[in-house]
Structure 1
């Protein structure tokens, strides 16, 4: 038992800082990661695909459809352009979780989206976004992997 306590104490001092949710005290890196997500979301809603693409590393992978990752930057831009035409509006009702470890970070957040078909009919969708970000040589953060459909794994779990 004495060894377990010593091990847990040592582990507590070596773990990366974890922010359990938006609104709690966040480090500068955690705020910077969250800013990337917020900028990307607002730019996507505004149809500013150039700024959306600037949120990603050139070799990034985005999972637009479950189990169908896309890594070609031209295809990613084309997919965002097509989806922006639906005038999506996103909200993050449970907030954001950001975990930073050195030059890597993960962002996790449930999301809700309302959009409009070309005919004007409303479309709603919800999901769980999991994004991996990497600190760039200049200090900025960019997404490397973006999977907004992670919730499908939970739905298939008994």
Structure 2
């Protein structure tokens, strides 16, 4: 087991996200966020709660595998900034080719249980 396989490494969060995403498990995805955590499905538009779940459900509906590589991690106490290169590629359910990619700028926080969770999941970075 490497340090990136543990819950106490903030960089492992993106690998846990990819694992849950590729398994099509929305419940596991939701568990990776703080209760009030947000995702930014469209640049400039952050959503939480049911909106966050709907945004992730939409991406899961594409039925495509995600890849991700953590480029940088900056940690200050129990808060970290993750820079993550990600992509979704393949043929969507409508038969059209999908090629999505970006560099996420994600803010994560370590909870009292030691687990890192998303506070802000911003897949489009500075777009």
TM range (shorter): 0.7 to 0.9
Give the paired residue count. Answer: 126
Name the one with the larger strand percent: 2
1:91 aligns with: 67
Structure-2 residue corresponding to 1:44: 21
Unaligned residue ranges in structure 2 (runs of 5+) = none
Say which structure is richer in helix: 1
Where has structure 1 moved over 4 Å in runs of 4 or more?
Answer: 26-31
**Aligned-partner Cα distance in 2 for 1:87–1:28:** 25
Quote the offset at 1:109 in angstroms. Answer: 1.8
User: RMSD over aligned Cα, in angstroms?
Assistant: 2.4
Q: Which moved more, 1:110-119 or 1:124-133?
A: 110-119
Q: Which runs of 5+ in 1 are unaligned?
A: 1-25, 153-158
Normalized against structure 2, the TM-score is what? 0.86
Note the 1:77-156 alignment, pairs <5 A. 77-92=53-68, 95-152=70-127
Q: Secondary structure at the match of 1:129?
A: strand
